[in-house]
Amino acid sequence: MLILIILLIVITITLLSLGIMPIILNKLKYWQEKKEKVITKELDKMFYDKNPKRIVQLYFILPFLLAILGFLFTKSLLFIFIGAVLGLFIPNLILKLRDAQYKQKFNQQILDAIMILSSCMKSGLSFLQALEVLTEEMSPPMSWEIGIVIRENKMGMTLEESLKHLNEKMQMEELTLLINSILVARETGGDLTKVLSRLSTTIRDNRKLKESIKTLTLQGRLQGIIMSALPFLFVWWVLTFNRSHFDIMFQSQIGRMLLFLAVFLQVVGMILIKKFSTINI
């Protein structure tokens, strides 16, 4: 009788698998194709020639890999779940870090680009010709992005629209200031050479001010990091010597309330320290 029941269970599970598995596989394939399109667009924006299929594969490989590592090292279901969740977020984190590096490198080239544009226009070239010189003289990613602006202009799009597209794509404070200054000067008929010269001075002074602020607030930020990490380090240090040290807190209503209050105040303190040590210009 027991063998018959087991056999019926196995047959039922097999039939359900045969009916459900094609639906699951179709859903996964649809999600994979959709994700590949999104990642392809993101990689194209950064001129990154990485195969999007390999990045999508990380969404399937990393959760299982990190979950297995979490089980092997801790034998805990909590760390298995944490490992699986981290595996899902790591590919997105990789793309965001790559995008941040790309934009940071572009931002570092803005001041040199302004100086080249100003020099070209002082020598009698038009603004569009100065942009073409910029693509030849500058290294990527500045040459790539300005090259897109020039190609869009040759395909019939106005220069103003191309610059606005570049601004929407990069979303940088200094680039926004540069493009707005160029657009205003072209609309009002102002001297673009003088505008670029003053703008380069403004950006240079702004960067010096930001560096000074970072230096002056370094001590406060380090204190905030240390004070935020101390409670977690203390709990870890106590648990390494006595794992049951905090059991009495979990066994009573007052203890659980105090632990909740401690965590809440810790989070509030971290937020306040972050606010006090951050100065926006």
Q: What is the pLDDT of residue 243?
A: 75
Q: Burial, 123: exposed, middle or buried (Cβ in 10 Å; 0-12, 13-18, 19+)?
A: exposed
Q: What is the pLDDT of residue 15?
A: 46
What does the alpha-carbon distance between residue 44 and residue 28 come to, in Å, rounded to a whole number? 24
- Domain definitions of the chain by residue range: 49-108, 110-208, 217-276
Q: Burial, 182: exposed, middle or buried (Cβ in 10 Å; 0-12, 13-18, 19+)?
A: buried
**pLDDT (tens digit, 9 = 90+) per residue, 5-62?**
555 565 555 545 555 666 666 766 766 677 767 777 777 676 666 777 777 777 778 8
Other CB atoms within 10 Å distance of the CB of residue 116? 20
Q: Within 124-172, where are the H helices?
A: 127-137, 142-154, 159-170
What does the alpha-carbon distance between residue 131 and residue 87 come to, in Å, rounded to a whole number? 43
Q: What's phi and psi for 192, nearest 5 deg?
A: -70, -30
- Report domain 110-208's class: mainly alpha
DSSP label of 1: -
What does the alpha-carbon distance between residue 14 and residue 21 come to, in Å, rounded to a whole number? 10
Which stretches of the chain score pLDDT less than 50?
A: 1-2, 4, 15
Q: Is the dihedral of CA 174, 176, 179, 184 positive or negative?
A: negative
3-state secondary structure string across 252-281: CHHHHHHHHHHHHHHHHHHHHHHHHCCCCC
